[in-house]
Amino acid sequence: MRPVAIAGVAEAGVGSAPPGSTPAGLMAEAARAALAEAGLELSDVDGVLAATTQLPMAPLNLSEALGLQPRFLDGTQIGGSSAIAHLRHAAAAIEAGLCSVALIAYGSTQRLVGRATASVQELDPGEAPYRPLMPVTAYALAASRHMHEFGTTREQLAEVAVAARAWARLNPDAWSRDPLTVADVLAAPMVCDPLGLRDCCLVTDGAAAIVVTSAERAAGLRRAPVALLGAGEATTHRHVSHMPDLTRTAAVQSGAEAFARAGLRPDDVDVAQVYDAFTITPVLFLEDLGFCAKGEGGAFVSGGRIAPGGALPMNTNGGGLSYAHPGMYGAFLIVEAVRQLRGECGERQVPGAEVALVHGNGGVLSSQATALLGPAT
Amino acid sequence: MPGTVYATTVVRRRGEAPLNVVLVDLDGGGRVMSRVEGIAPEEVAVGLAVTEVEGSDPLVFRPA
């Protein structure tokens, strides 16, 4: 039996949160719902893991909001990949006996309060004089390099947004559900060449929570447990001018470790949730995770392969491009993967999904975290 | 200080002129963020040979 499993997941305030919402309040709401789904009580929680752009001491805010005094705390803040790193840290803590029920949460009110307030960009002193529009400028630079080295086209990048929208059209909870074509993506106003408005993720509110415990304990709870099969995390830089190779991310390391620990290969993955803050990001990560060779990501995402009915169903809730993107998206990748593996996804359900990959990205392609989820036995 | 454009973008802020931002690989080693001047922002291409605009502070480049 795999040692650790996810026993409950929930979201709160996704899209446009009610006026007066706070990041801690939304996290607490999602946490209570995730515990209820698992059939656990607040008093069962003895580990709290959280990070948000708005609360530098997020695990403390969440513990306070829930009236908890946990014996394990982790506030690892490595951007959008944080929740997947938290999942790995929670598993290690449970296996080491540092806690028995871990609560992972994320919450953002960036749409309510404005992105400039919610997500202050820390600029490198060597970059600031040139006025990059972060984070999008960094991703645009990576896209320009990928196009130069491998001949990747704007049309191929647009395929990522079009596939995400096709999934969102099957998800009544998705933020953007209007039809979207490659031509629409290409015609949208440019933000940072070669990325236009439709190559960029949404800006929404939202919270998510994940309850993790031993697979043994999870087996006796309310919902079918989803086991953590393997995970990895890695980094190459903080600021883009320090990134060694703009076409090769630390997903090479995080993915290799996750697959090795799980004893699986990319071919074994039935459904993938891959961080899509910008259309270039899944192209880079699918290459680095080994779904295709370096440089072939543009062709790989084309022709409907990642869309509904395709060989690699990806970002099945509509992703950060069309479902929601509350600043740091990692927790939402886990929630959708768990729902797919439990077969709860209605019209967008991937039939027979048994193994899911979740891959998160943080900063400006700076941190990468990968996890494989599947059956406990 | 000669170098080569490693990556390039055009930042388009509402109400402002398009602004080039590049990463330049310096011939002497190292990579810096900068801007290429004396050419339209959209015309700056990956692989373009550039050299520093003398006396510029912050350092900016022009086509070599």
Residue A15 Ramachandran class (φ > 0 left, ψ -120 to 50 alpha, else beta): left
Q: Which of the four pLDDT bands, split at 50, 70 and 90, describes residue B38? A: very high
| Per-residue pLDDT tens over the stretch A268-285 | 999 999 999 999 999 999
Tens digits of residue pLDDT in A10-20: 999 999 999 99
Q: SS3 for A118?
A: helix
- Please give, rounded to a whole number of angstroms, the shortest distance from the CA of B18 to a CA of chain A: 9
What are the tens digits of pLDDT across the range A246-259? 999 999 999 999 99
| pLDDT band at residue A117 under the 50/70/90 scheme | confident
Give residue A208's pLDDT band: very low, low, confident or very high (50, 70, 90): very high
Hey, which residues of A are catalytic here? 275, 323
Q: Examine the pLDDT at A1 and tell me if it is beyond 80.
A: no
Which residues on chain A are in Cβ contact (under 8 Å) with B45?
A: 148
φ, ψ (nearest 5 deg) of residue A83: -65, -35
pTM: 0.98
Task: Tell me whether residues B42 and A133 touch, CB distance under 8 A.
Answer: no
pLDDT at A121: 83
C-alpha distances out from residue A92 to A68, A99, A102, A182, A333, Å: 21, 10, 11, 43, 20
pLDDT band (50, 70, 90) for residue A352: very high
**Average pLDDT, rounded, for chain A:** 97
Whole-complex ipTM: 0.99
- The answer on pLDDT for A66 being more than 80 is yes
| B12 touching A (Cβ < 8 Å) | yes
Instruction: Give the nearest partner residue to B34 out of A130, A193, A246, using CB atoms.
Output: A130
User: Between chains, do B32 and A189 touch, taking CB under 8 Å as contact?
Assistant: no
